[in-house]
Amino acid sequence: MEMSLTRLLSHTLRRNQWIGRCVLSRSISLSQKPLLSSQTGISPLFFRNGNPVITVSLPSKGEDCDFMLRPLSDSVGDFIDYMKKEDGGVERAALYTKGGTKIAKSTRIDQLFLEDFDLLINDTKYHVSVPKDYKEVFEGTKSLTDAYSLIHQLYSSLHVDKYQLVKEQQLKAQLQQVQTELQPLEEQVSKISQSARVNNNGFVWLGLGAMCLQFGVLSRLTWCEYSWDIIEPVTYFIGYGTLLGMYAYYIITRQEYIYPDARDRQFLLTLYRLARKQGLDLTRYNELKDAAANIDLQLRRLHDPLDLNLPK
């Protein structure tokens, strides 16, 4: 009798322990799932002035509130922010698909309304059913990028010709003004350039004459006055002196002594010297030349078929 009572007590103890473990395992598995209250409702969806409107029951105020959403610019996060700003009692709000997957806040409204979804506010879940005809409307809605592209194309088609004409008239007026101020300067620069060119040619021929004179003097001293043994050291020092002069030119100008470069440098020096004597502002002349070149470039770009999105 005592053995039967002991067996009964041990069996009852093991049974209670097994039930406790089952209850504990069940509570842990439930805590891992998202908290969705058994309290459910329905949030109507309708259209007003072409925009979708969702009616939500606010938890604190206990009254219904219509939220108008913009399909192309609003997102799920914006919708949640609207609800929290309207009612401070909205502590937690989220949207879920029919399968229980949470919808990201970055999802746009036009993508949200492609299928039914659930709205969770605090501990209350609302089911939002999107009518079939509304789904077709949102399926045919273009993305925001496509809408911007369409607006840009429409604006270009309506205004590009007018804008091109107005811009061309403005550029031509600016070019005419620059050319009017540039014309007298062009005449002065042309005269000064001609004088500087003549002066520069004189220096070139003068250098050639000096070299010919040097060659003649050394020849006479070699064959008529003295012998080559005496004149050879003289030619060495003349050649070395010429090398020193070329090195000094590099130190002063930071340019290698090349005949075309030396000629151009001498031309510019003569041009600026003559311009200062005649009171010509070459700095202003260069600014006007750059402005005219820039305006001409803009006119050519304005008529470029690639810039106008036209076939070449």
DSSP string, 75-110: BHHHHHHHHHHH-TT---EEEEETTSPBPPTT-BHH
Q: Measure the CA–CA gap between 266 and 272, rounded to whole angstroms.
A: 10
Q: Where are the domains of the chain?
A: 40-141, 146-302
Amino acid in position 210 = A
**Given pLDDT bands bounded at 50, 70 and 90, which one contains residue 155?**
low
- The long-range contacts involving 201-208, CB below 8 angstroms and separated by at least 24 positions, are 203/266, 204/263
Q: Measure the CA–CA gap between 11 and 245, rounded to whole angstroms.
A: 120
Cα–Cα distances (Å) from 241 to 18, 135, 174, in that order, read: 114, 95, 55
Written as six digits, the tokens of 20 are 């406790």
Q: Measure the CA–CA gap between 157 and 140, rounded to whole angstroms.
A: 24
Residues in the chain: 312
**Given pLDDT bands bounded at 50, 70 and 90, which one contains residue 1?**
very low
Q: Measure the CA–CA gap between 251 and 243, rounded to whole angstroms.
A: 13
Query: Does the pLDDT value for residue 303 go beyond 50?
Result: yes
pLDDT in tens, 190-213: 888 888 888 888 888 888 888 899
Q: 40-141, which class in CATH?
A: alpha beta
Query: How many helices (H) and strands (E) would you count in the chain?
Result: 8, 7
- What's the pLDDT at 294? 92
Give Rg (Cα) of the chain. Answer: 47
Contact assessment for residue 35 and residue 118, using Cβ atoms and an 8 Å cutoff: no
pLDDT in tens, 22-59: 333 333 333 333 333 444 567 677 777 767 888 888 88
Contact assessment for residue 91 and residue 51, using Cβ atoms and an 8 Å cutoff: no
Cα–Cα distances (Å) from 119 to 76, 96, 105, in that order, read: 11, 7, 13
Contact assessment for residue 197 and residue 270, using Cβ atoms and an 8 Å cutoff: no
Q: What mean pLDDT is predicted for residues 295-312?
A: 69
Beta bridge partners of 127: 42, 118
- What's the pLDDT at 22? 35
Q: Measure the CA–CA gap between 104 and 33, rounded to whole angstroms.
A: 18
- What's the pLDDT at 99? 85
